[in-house]
Amino acid sequence: MPTTRGLRRDDADTTGHKTTPPARYGMSLEGHLVDGAVHVAGDARQRFYDSRGYGRPTGGREIDLSYVEAAHLLFRGDLDAVDGMAFRGFFAWATEERRRFGLRFLVYSDLRDRGFYLAPAREDWPGPDAPDADFAVFPRGKGPADGAIEHRVRVLGEREPVAPADLSPGVLAVVDEESEITYLEVTEPALEGSATDDLPEEVPGVLLEDRVLCWEGATALYEQGFYGQPLAGRHSVVEDAVQLSLVEAAWLASAGALDLGDDGYGRVVARGRAVEGERFDRRLRTYGELRERGLVPKTGFKFGSDFRTYADFDGVESLGHSEHLVRVVPPGHEFAPRDVSLDVRLAGGVRKRMVFALPGANGGIDWLSVGRLTP
Amino acid sequence: MPTTRGLRRDDADTTGHKTTPPARYGMSLEGHLVDGAVHVAGDARQRFYDSRGYGRPTGGREIDLSYVEAAHLLFRGDLDAVDGMAFRGFFAWATEERRRFGLRFLVYSDLRDRGFYLAPAREDWPGPDAPDADFAVFPRGKGPADGAIEHRVRVLGEREPVAPADLSPGVLAVVDEESEITYLEVTEPALEGSATDDLPEEVPGVLLEDRVLCWEGATALYEQGFYGQPLAGRHSVVEDAVQLSLVEAAWLASAGALDLGDDGYGRVVARGRAVEGERFDRRLRTYGELRERGLVPKTGFKFGSDFRTYADFDGVESLGHSEHLVRVVPPGHEFAPRDVSLDVRLAGGVRKRMVFALPGANGGIDWLSVGRLTP
């Protein structure tokens, strides 16, 4: 399994199965419900665990299977029944017995189909050390006995909201209402850029409605720092005017680079709050931290986000591609998987990485980067 | 100006201006504030109205300009002052005087730069018949005297929510916080497809958590109607099982094509409401109307919307491209321009058209299609 770019098929698992039916060794094989697991006797350890990574050994040649694993072996015809239940009966029974069993079965089955070995890692199955995950997916070519975990996969229904605290780095497998699965990878982004802020002092500006106009002296701010936007038509007597957004103006005023008269910073922030409430404060904090990290943030409006950011910035003349889209979310925000899907799909389509900024109560900001894994 | 595909430059307007400064006729030209307009005497009619579509004639050779038009002529240097105010002074004054003046100036100026003739059409300027619009944009090569309007353009700040009732067909010019303009075209979509629903009778299914499983007999539903999704791995003893979403199951149950036992339809709808509230009813109504129009709706989860739809459907074997993304919005929903920008940008990126479904209180559904105009 590759480190980041996708869940790929492990051909080793599929060898020999494509043209021949599963080997059955000429005997009927049944599991039995014992203490919340499916116990399988005979040579189950060799047949399922050693060679294909199902279950956990219970000593000797026997194994316990989690319900999901047992269902998958029934589904494949490798197991005939569990206490007399064939796949249909067991599936319906387990769906009643275990919350979200159906979702987990779909994801387990999909990852197996893609050639991965994986093990359950939830409360009902004290498996590998993968807190908050449903499955531990092993590195390419490895199994449960090798001790390494490549991915922690959490299973979600598309209607289940996710709190930021639950969005720990790992893989989210979102099952939509039509049982299609979208894999999302959550990581901690490396947000560092090369921009240096060599700001001028006290460029004069005026606050007009929800933006600030600098009639003169702000051209360098624009050209060297990508602050604002020139107010220039194709034929204009106004040559040097630059418009600043309220966020840009507040940041520049706080740095002493913009002079808006008495209490300029306070008036810009008050105007920002008047037009967008507390969201303005969150966005200003995020903007400031991005600038401090050497990134150049500009509006992400055309992409439906708060900011797009440029990491390698050396003046607007040589402007490159922006790498990240940043959405600032309010405290306590719960992510709807559908909304995350929308953001991540759009970002991928424009070759950017989606980043969520979560300003905390302590003044810091947590950052989460989410991308789609395309199996 | 083309009908739909973009706001393009009218070269006629720019001829002669690219290399030479505006002709000034050797005299200083000043306007005067009179009854909420800027009155310009001299040969203003010939100079500004007849040849370039600014203002409205007041009899004889004189004209009245709206504030936006006057500001633009000051901006270009074609007018020297209004009651002693040059561009800067007039712009600041008018921003105080007229709400959203700055936004309207930016859009007017941008459209003029692109070579269009346009006239104000708001309360402060009883212009052409364009209710709820800020500007009437004239057909390519035409001006205010020709009597035809090509586009009604409404100007919005990115933070201003829009009620569905205000989303009449026309063009929205959304000015973002950094003064960039996004043009969105609202139309009434033609939602008609070729799918025929030749449904089987009472295929048996079971309701399991938030989906329905048909173990047998539903293959035709999938293959001929694109209902559901096969539950099939690469190696499985379960060959014919099809999973249906709750919306699909409710629709099929109401049509008599699905048998879920006693009160099957009622139980599916109750389950749908349990997992997503009233949204389920809205989505079911929308799904049903799309089906009745001959379209095939499937989940739009991967695109962050409710449905994607196929108009030309003739079986899953020959599945083509889905043309629309549909988002169902609740009654009274106010659109945030940023959210619309997100949806429309994503839809454009995957070569689909964004459609909003607005189920009304009377049982009907209003549909709005929104696309981006790329000037």
Higher per-residue pLDDT: A18 or B275: B275
Rounded Cα distance, B146 and B144, in Å: 6
State the amino acid at position B105 in one-letter form: F
From the candidates A222, A227, A310, A324, which is the catalytic residue?
A310
Give every residue of chain A whose pLDDT is below 70, as ranges. Answer: 1-27, 122-131, 233-234, 375
Higher per-residue pLDDT: B370 or A164: B370
Q: Would the CB atoms of B182 and A301 count as touching at under 8 Å?
A: yes
Q: Would the CB atoms of B304 and A343 count as touching at under 8 Å?
A: yes
Looking at residue A76, its pLDDT comes to 94
Looking at residue A163, its pLDDT comes to 87
Rounded Cα distance, A375 and A369, in Å: 19
pTM of the model: 0.90
- Full set of structural domains in chain B with CATH: 11-157 (3.40.1170.20), 203-373 (3.40.1350.10)
Q: How far is B160 from chain A (nearest CA, A)?
A: 9
Residues of B serving a catalytic function are: 310, 321, 352
Query: Nearest-5° angle of CA A328, CA A334, CA A338?
Result: 90
Report residue B144's pLDDT band, with 50, 70 and 90 as the boundaries.
confident
Closest C-alpha to A342, from B323, B326, B303:
B303
Please give the distance of CA A295 from its chain centroid, rounded to a whole number.
Answer: 21
ipTM value for the complex: 0.89
For residue A224, what are its two tokens? 């060297």
* pLDDT of B128 strictly over 90: no
Could you read off the pLDDT of B226-274 as tens digits, one per residue? 999 999 766 788 888 999 999 999 999 999 999 999 999 999 999 999 9
For residue B72, what are its two tokens? 């633009």
Cα(first)–Cα(last) distance of chain A, in Å?
A: 11
Active-site residue, A321 included: yes
Query: Which residues of A are less than 8 Å from B248 in CB distance?
Result: 178
Looking at residue B99, its pLDDT comes to 87
Looking at residue B123, its pLDDT comes to 53
For residue B212, what are its two tokens? 């329905």
Report residue B141's pLDDT band, with 50, 70 and 90 as the boundaries.
confident
- In B232-348, DSSP assigns E strands to 242-245, 258-259, 296-299, 307-310, 324-328
Q: Would the CB atoms of B180 and A231 count as touching at under 8 Å?
A: no
Could you read off the pLDDT of B295-312 as tens digits, one per residue? 999 999 999 999 999 999
Looking at residue B2, its pLDDT comes to 35
- H or E stretch at B162: none
Rounded Cα distance, A277 and A271, in Å: 9
Rounded Cα distance, A227 and A214, in Å: 11
Looking at residue A362, its pLDDT comes to 81
Looking at residue B133, its pLDDT comes to 86
Report residue B126's pLDDT band, with 50, 70 and 90 as the boundaries.
low
Lowest model confidence (mean pLDDT) among A123-127, B154-158, B254-258, B348-352: A123-127
For residue A82, what are its two tokens? 């569990």
Average pLDDT over residues B277-282: 96
Looking at residue A127, its pLDDT comes to 55
List of residues 6+ apart from A356 with CB closer than 8 A: A164, A167, A326, A327, A328, A329, A335, A367, A368, A369, A370
Active-site residue, A298 included: no
Average pLDDT over residues B92-110: 94
Rounded Cα distance, B83 and A333, in Å: 52
Could you read off the pLDDT of A5-43 as tens digits, one per residue? 344 333 334 333 333 344 445 467 999 999 989 999 999
Please give the distance of CA B15 from its chain centroid, rounded to a whole number.
Answer: 33
Give the B window 277-316 contacts with A, CB below 8 Å: 298-299, 301-305
Average pLDDT over residues B209-233: 93
Could you read off the pLDDT of A124-158 as tens digits, one per residue? 555 555 557 899 999 888 888 888 888 899 999 99
Query: Which residues of A are less than 8 Å from B243 in CB distance?
Result: 178-179
State the amino acid at position B317 in one-letter form: E
For residue B113, what are its two tokens? 């730069």
Rounded Cα distance, A317 and A334, in Å: 40
